[in-house]
A and B are shown apart, each in its own frame.
Chain A
Amino acid sequence: MARIGVDEWVAESDQRTEGYRGRASPLVAAWDRVPPAARILLLAVGLAVFPLTTGSDFVLRVGINTLLLAILALGLNVVVGWAGLLDLGYIAFYGFGAYTYALLSSEQLGIHLPTPLAVLIVLVACALLGLLLGLPSRRLLGDYLAIVTLFFGQIFVELVVNLDAVTGGPSGIAGVDPFVLLGFEFLTPRDYYYLTAGAAVIVTLVLYLIGESRTGRAWRAVREDPLAAEMMTMPVNLLKLKAFALGSAIAGLAGSIFAAVQIGVFPRNFETPFLILIYAAVILGGAGSLAGAILGAVVVSVSLELLRDADQATVLFYGLLLAGLLARVRPWRKLAAVLGGTIALGLALHAIAAAVWPEAVAGTPQATGALGDALDAWLVLPEGATTAGNIGFVVLVAAIILFTQVRERTRTLLLVPVIYLAAFVWEARLVQEPSVTRQLLLGALLVVVMISRPRGLLGSERKEIV
């Protein structure tokens, strides 16, 4: 323990109390203690073992998609998490990589380059395109950069759709060659799973090494304070360009694999909704953290997969609702009151409705099993309540807005009917619209994480000092 004078002791009081509590969760703290080499080994072993647990091509395909999302998230993390550049055109590099690979390995132009050469060309072309986009953007800050890159992403899709002669227009390019490496031809989902897993591990390793290097440090410095970084010998513009180029090359790698897996490329694969998923993965995991980007991709990809199925979606919906309540409502007494109140309200309403107007409870909830039975006894749900569901939805949105505006006390009171209404809208309406509910639930998931862990699952705590 260093001896410290009284003045300093006073001056540092905030430091002692704040301290480096940093990450509260013991799980995350334990993860922090795992040395980097062991983490990457863990990742490699985990990915290698996973396919042994399943014989299903479907699961392997989900695995491939998850890994591609992870690679994309890792690349985006370089640009957004490290260099701090809000690049909303990132998806275009994924598309550019996929299309370049497809053009170099299909009948579209009659070119069939060996895989290593084609991938190398993709990487270089994507990096160059990244530089090109970076050139005008490097002086643009924050909002401007975001809008310029978003525009770029849009233009890419427009170009692909309209340059029929080269890109095949809206119908894309089909019949893309499979990967052939060292004489081995990648054909089955299992082959591609291992290929993608290998690529993900290599990208992680490469990014770890770069992140710890002088370039990685300089990127973070640029993110923290570009002006100070510039004054501390760092060429800020050049560093931004490098981040763009590296991020783009990684997106291009993911694109090539994607083109081969899908045996084709289509403009629709590279539209904004998918960009949102990549961002969701990075932010959910914690911008700036490699492990976070991977974990984020897994959470996003797997929850989207679960949400395809109405039954699982319902479990996720109520689970999220409950998790949100558990995380936010304190003290325990209040939490118990809210939960108890919600249950009591439902049972009471159900009993009254059943007595007065039996049709009102004629509907059956989507969920099966115990959850379904419980819901059936609790929720007032008429048969085919589409109109009621629509009205309920509008009321729910209004109630949530009202909810954020009122005082704490009213809010607690309002919480019970809002939960009940949410359940009603879910059962009457949302569960029938899987594509909408997927987005909604993913959004809700993001909001829950944002509230309870603003820095993302594995991100380090970030602070501004005023």
Chain B
Amino acid sequence: MKNMPGDSAEDILTLRNVCKYYKDRKGSGHLLKAVDGVSFSVRRGETFGLVGESGCGKSTLSRVILQLEPVSGGSVAFEGRDFARIGRRELRAMRKEMQIVFQDPYDSIDPRMTLEQAVEEPMAIHRYDRSLRKTRIKKLFEDVGLPVNMLNRYPHQLSGGQRQRLCIARSLALSPKLLVCDEAVSALDVSIQAQILNLMCDLKEEHNLTYIFISHNLGVIKFISDRIAVMYFGKIVELASRNEIFTHYLHPYTCALLSAAPVLHPSMRRERMLLTGDVPNLYNPPAGCVFCDRCVYADSRCRSEAPVLRGYGEDRQAACHYAGELPLKVNWGGAPC
């Protein structure tokens, strides 16, 4: 099977069966399976898109990837080094290699820091030379398109787009190899979204970055990603290259997700595959496929046996018993972006 997670040199990040369970806040003893058995690897230099409805565990997965929270099971390896097996000091050093840009630019910078301090902070933590810091701050400001005369301003004096530029500058300060963008443009106006997305494309070339781009917005994901993983309630249900996933999707959930996206022009109106049934209960997931309650094709096998992610030819994986056999159809009208 190709493309199953492996330690090939082109993989920068490998997730194996990663799980993150939370205890029920009310103390009922149930486990909330926010991320449940996710495996994939991200190749050096690509933009890996992760798409899914709100609450399906995308942010949890990003926090686990960045070691902001420990995994409940499985392993995350960066450049072949398993995070569970490295010491504190090494982890601190490895934090330089991957950074995150959060959704809310209003919340991800300490309001008491000037812009200069915010960008300088990561370099101060890692004891960069002072004069080097100053020159780097200027360079980073130019790279992300912020005027250098704003150095002494405070974050609240910036617009949302400028703030997100600042967050990007901050996350690039340590020259990371991998940048995780968790809904990085979702809080911005549509016109600003486009600017930031373009900026990120440029920065990717310039800084030799690999992106994991997380969004609930298909248009954004389609614009920026090379490969796309579709997540549904803690699991990856389909993973394929961008071109494949928008034309030859194999999983009924992907189809439903594509038909749920708004279309710009009435002539592009299409048959929608509507989502029926209830959202599965995270505390008490169905025994079989997580999607079976909402899937029109579900049969008894789907209800009893959970499908695993299997490869279907070059660069395609899906977790459906009947992948490739279903008459899925949707006229994807293009990105609403």
Chain A partners chain B:
no
Residue ranges of B at the interface with A (Cβ–Cβ < 8 Å): none
